[in-house]
Amino acid sequence: MAPSEQPTQFRYPSASFLIPLPRIMEVTLVLLGIAQDGGVPHAGCSCVRCMAAHRDPSLRRHPVACGIRGSDGSLHLVEASRSLPDQMWLWAEAMGAEGVARPDSVSLTHIHLGHIDGLGQFGNEVMGCSELPLFASASVLEELAKREMLGPFEATEAVPMERFSPSVNCGFEMEFVPVPHRDEHADTHAVIIRGPSHSVLFLPDHDDWAQTLNRHGANSIRQWLSDLDVDIALLDGSFWDSSELPNRDMSEVPHPTVTETLARLGERVEGDVEIHFIHLNHSNPLLGQGPEVEELTDLGWQVSAQGQQFTL
C-alpha cells in the first residue's frame, strides 16, 4: 500500500492521534472596559483623574464592554466601543493568545454612543468584515439600519427573556433582559451570559432601581437577581452619589447611584450574588483608592477591574 493510502491510525488509550481533536476550553468572560461611555480620560475634561490618565496610559479606562470565549475557542463581544483596538489587544493578552483577538459575534445592549461607536471599525475602512453575527433587540437593529451601520453584519433579533447561543458550539447561552433607560431612539437590555457552571448579569445602564424592579415584579435587588438565577452581577455604578456632577443636571443622565444601591443591599451575607460595579464615570471616586472604595468593600461588594476574568 502506498504511503498516501495508509489509513488514519489511532493509538488508544495513549491519546496520540494523527487526526487532531477539538480543544475543549473553559467559558471565560473578560471585562474589556469598566468606564462610562466617555472612558477615562473624558473628552474636554481637565479634572485631576483625566489629566493623570493623559500623562500615564496605565490609568486609562475603556468604555464598558466584555468578551466571552466559548468552550470551542470562539470569541463573542458585548458592546462595540471606540476603544475597540485596545480592547481586542487586552482580550488577547488576557487569554494568553498571540496576535489580536477578532470576535465571532457582537451583541449590543442599547444604542447610546459608547456602546456602538466602534461598529464602524468592522467595515471596509478597517477590518472588512461581512455577515458577522450581530445580536440586539428589534428596535436597536431598526435604528442601526436607519443609520446605515449594519453593512458588516448579519443582524439577528435577540428576543427578550429568550435564551440563545451566539454560535453553535460555544458552550454558553445569552439572554436579553429589558430595563428602562432613556429609550429615545431604541430600547435597552441587560444581558445574562449562562455558562456550564456560572451565570453573569451584565447591566451597564438603567435609569433607576424602582423602575427596573417594578418592571420585573421584584421587591428588592436580591429578589430580582435570585429570580434571574445568576451567580455574578456586573451592575451600573456610573455615579457614586447625586452630588458628583455639580455643573450638570443629574436628571439628564439618570442612573442609580452606588450609594442608593448599597443602601438597598446593605451588607453581603452568605448565599448572596457576587456584585461588581461597572460603567464608572470619570468623576466616580471608585476609580481611585479613597474611602468610598473601602466603604463598598467593607460591605462585601466589589469594584470591577479592567481585564478582570470570570470563569463560567
pLDDT, one tens digit per residue, over 238-271 is: 999 988 877 766 566 788 999 999 999 999 999 9
pLDDT, one tens digit per residue, over 80-110 is: 999 999 999 999 999 888 888 889 999 999 9
What pLDDT sits at residue 239?
A: 92
Rounded mean pLDDT, 191-218 = 96
What pLDDT sits at residue 100?
A: 85
Domain assignment of residue 288, yes or no: yes
User: Which stretches does DSSP call E strand in the chain?
Assistant: 10-11, 16-17, 28-33, 65-69, 75-78, 105-107, 132-136, 153-157, 163-164, 173-179, 188-194, 199-203, 232-236, 274-278, 302-303, 309-311
**pLDDT above 90 (res 32):** yes
Helix 258-265 to helix 291-298 angle (10° resolution) is 20
Quote the longest CA-to-CA distance of the chain.
84
Tally of CB atoms within 10 A around 2: 5
Please state, in angstroms and rounded to a whole number, the distance separating the CA atoms of residues 79 and 77: 6
Rounded mean pLDDT, 194-212 = 96
Domain assignment of residue 65, yes or no: yes
CATH classification of the domain holding 177: 3.60.15.10
Considering only residues 16 and 198, tell me which one the structure prediction assigns the higher pLDDT: 198
18-22, 190-194, 226-230, 295-299: the lowest-pLDDT one: 18-22
61-65, 90-94, 222-226: the lowest-pLDDT one: 90-94
Global pTM value: 0.90
Domain assignment of residue 241, yes or no: yes
Mean pLDDT of the chain: 90
Domain assignment of residue 17, yes or no: no
Q: Using DSSP, state whether 199 is helix, strand or coil.
A: strand
Cα within 13 Å of Cα(165), Cβ side? 14
pLDDT, one tens digit per residue, over 115-171 is: 999 999 999 999 999 999 999 999 999 999 999 999 999 999 999 999 999 999 999
What pLDDT sits at residue 3?
A: 39
Please state, in angstroms and rounded to a whole number, the distance separating the CA atoms of residues 130 and 164: 22
Please state, in angstroms and rounded to a whole number, the distance separating the CA atoms of residues 24 and 103: 18
Domain with 253, as residue range(s), is: 25-306
Q: Using DSSP, state whether 135 is helix, strand or coil.
A: strand
Rounded mean pLDDT, 67-79 = 96
Q: How many helical (H) and strand (E) elements, i.e. helices and strands, does the chain have?
A: 8, 16
Domain assignment of residue 19, yes or no: no
Rounded mean pLDDT, 51-78 = 96
Asked whether 107 and 158 are in contact (CB, 8 A), the reply is yes
Tally of CB atoms within 10 A around 229: 12
Report strand pairing: 105-107 vs 132-136: parallel
Domain assignment of residue 5, yes or no: no
Asked whether 187 and 194 are in contact (CB, 8 A), the reply is no
What pLDDT sits at residue 98?
A: 80
Please state, in angstroms and rounded to a whole number, the distance separating the CA atoms of residues 254 and 87: 27
Name the H helices within 10-136.
48-55, 84-94, 113-116
Q: How many domains does the chain have?
A: 1
* The most confident of 18-27, 182-191, 287-296, by mean pLDDT: 287-296
What pLDDT sits at residue 252?
A: 66
Domain assignment of residue 3, yes or no: no
Domain assignment of residue 311, yes or no: no
